Chains A and B, each alone.
Chain A
Amino acid sequence: MELLFEGIREAFRLLIHADPEVVRITLLSLKISGCATFISLIIGIGAGMLIALVEFPGKRLLISIINTGMGLPPVVVGLFVTIFIWRNGPLGFLGILYTPTAMIAAQAIIATPIVAGITIAAIQHLPEELRLQILALGATRTQMVWMLMKESRLPLLAAVMAGFGGVISEIGASIMVGGNIMGYTRVLTTATVMETSRGNFDVAIALGVILLLLSFSVNFILTTIQQYDKK
């Protein structure tokens, strides 16, 4: 317990004194996970809307695959992304291995099925006739899709939270494709693992607490927006 309290004390000390290394790691974590979430929102919401609204053969199979992808193990994603961007891999010419770009790509792959899966469920949950009603009021197809997104904004905000929560806390992919390079690809999760392996539990706990606070702050803001809208 003493170790835990020590860690929490250290966390607040690091936060209060705005330790430059901690601030940099925190900002990099936010930047990488924020970008990955943003990319996953664009791809995930777009694909989710398309799959939910268009009838095609194999739709059920595709939804099952996406739903399975919602629980995609980060280490598996990390492994495949590493193979693809490895010097001799199909995308090796990009030269992005052990860069923040590779971490964003890997995290986006993790978050996209989460966002797409929740989007599909959200759109399919709306009454079937709502689409027809929107069209029957004179909307074009694009206006109809936009309105459906507005109508499902509460679950779509949940998709943002789930996507961000999934990537800010993952370690496997980040460490594999980022390499935990100090000052370049070191983020809160990879730093916590490293400090733990070094036996620096107080710093590891401090980083863990910061990660929790960060995750909580983002989710609190999104939840506030979501619940305010629900009123």
Chain B
Amino acid sequence: MTKNNIRPILLDIRNLSSVRGGRTVLNIPEMRIYEGEILSLIGPNGAGKTTLLMALLRLVPLESGVIVFKNTPLNETLPHDTYRRHFVMVFQKSLLFNSSVFNNIAYGLRIRGIRGRELLRRVDEQMALFGIAHLRNRHARKISGGEARRVSLARAFVLNPTVVLLDEPFAGLDTPTRDALIADCEKILRASGTTAIFATHDRNEALMLSDRISVMNEGRILQTGAPEDIMHRPANEFVASFAGTDTIISGPVIKKNRGTLFIEVNGSILEIVGEAKIGSKVTFCVRPENILLSKKASRATSARNAFAGSIQRILPVGHFYKVFIDCGFQLIAHVTHQSVKNLGLAEGGKIVASFKATAAHIIRGAAEV
């Protein structure tokens, strides 16, 4: 956030709304995009991410809204076509034209009247940056999916846009191809200082690329912040859940002592750091990597919360396992394959789950300090 505060505002959006079939598909009271930043829009399918990107490009009809681009309001002194040429959008599908790779990349330059050596130089430069120089004369419909994405990105970046809008450009790619492409894309974006707004439903992609993340659902932005804010200080249950925080607990505050709240949940007392009134109900979350598992309670740990429970389920999720523990309330921890082996974790087995009072974040019911 601090990094963005010193950056000039590139896009200032107010009361942007779009209605489709009588349903509001976009409702953004305010949104700011800073020069040179990479902002990710994350949310489930149908959250309005693509609609927002297309609304910024004025490709969807808007019910209302003011877009101010570099301090100039659109509609008044800035015509739509001039405004749109500051942007370029890359869609989820590569949507390459029925022509050679070279012609695909050159298209945007040609319609801007750029020809000759300048065109050749810029196309060749982008092909080299995206590692597709060897595909120069290949037909665009006869290259692999990963190559097609690279061509599609090169076709956008060759235009040196002020803002690049990326709509899930890495979706559907195999992991190594996707990771390589994300790395290349970030390198190019950082080197060129291009502002990017990147829609994805994959939070890991967003974490890899972004300066800030906006979480969207049902056409609204629920929270915007730095990746660590979204991950560790979610604004509500939806954001917490979408950011991968599965443990969300509610209960009344029965006592407080020097900034520590004592919350009763199904007969257990949980200690968390925060502010709330005694008697009020608070909802808080704990990230799965902050929940530690051990065979028995240890005095050596500084964790204020340690609860014995039984393992309900062990779910393999990529490089780690998701362990669901019933302690009278549910805790969900992430553990490595090695830990599963060392602790002898098995469904139905007993385990002690612990987390620090500082690891919890109050989502709802916190009092203003």
Contacts and interface: CB of A to CB of B under 8 A. Distances in A.
Interface of A: 127, 129-130, 132-133, 135-140, 143, 147, 150-151, 153, 231
Nearest to B81: A140
B12 to A, nearest CB: 21
A101 B95 CA distance: 44
Contacts of A140: 81, 111
A137 B95 CA distance: 12
Interface of B is mostly: mixed
Given A135-B84, A136-B89, A138-B87, 18 more contacts: A129-B93, A129-B95, A132-B59, A132-B89, A132-B91, A136-B59, A136-B84, A136-B88, A136-B91, A136-B165, A137-B156, A138-B84, A138-B88, A138-B111, A143-B111, A147-B97, A147-B107, A231-B139
Nearest to B53: A136
Interface in B92-115: 93, 95, 97-98, 107-108, 111-112
A42 to B, nearest CB: 23
Nearest to B158: A137
Contacts of A151: 97-98
A139 B95 contact: no
B111 A137 contact: yes
Interface string B147-182: 000000001100100000100000000000000000
A137 B159 contact: yes
A17 to B, nearest CB: 46
Contacts of B269: none
Nearest to A139: B111
A129 B91 contact: yes
B111 A127 contact: no
25 contacts: A129-B91, A129-B95, A130-B95, A132-B54, A132-B59, A132-B89, A133-B91, A133-B95, A135-B57, A135-B59, A135-B84, A136-B59, A136-B87, A136-B88, A137-B89, A137-B108, A137-B155, A138-B84, A138-B87, A138-B108, A140-B81, A147-B97, A150-B97, A151-B97, A153-B98
Interface of A is mostly: helix
Contacts of B97: 147, 150-151
B84 A127 contact: no
A44 B165 CA distance: 36
A125 to B, nearest CB: 12
Interface in B116-139: 139
Interface in B44-77: 54, 57, 59
B162 to A, nearest CB: 12
A138 B85 contact: yes
A127 B92 CA distance: 12
A231 B81 CA distance: 35
A126 to B, nearest CB: 10
A153 B111 CA distance: 19
A150 B104 CA distance: 13
A208 to B, nearest CB: 38
Nearest to A141: B81
A85 to B, nearest CB: 43
A75 B107 CA distance: 47
A129 B90 CA distance: 11
A13 B89 CA distance: 63
Interface in B215-251: none
Nearest to B86: A138
A153 B91 CA distance: 23
Contacts of B159: 137-138
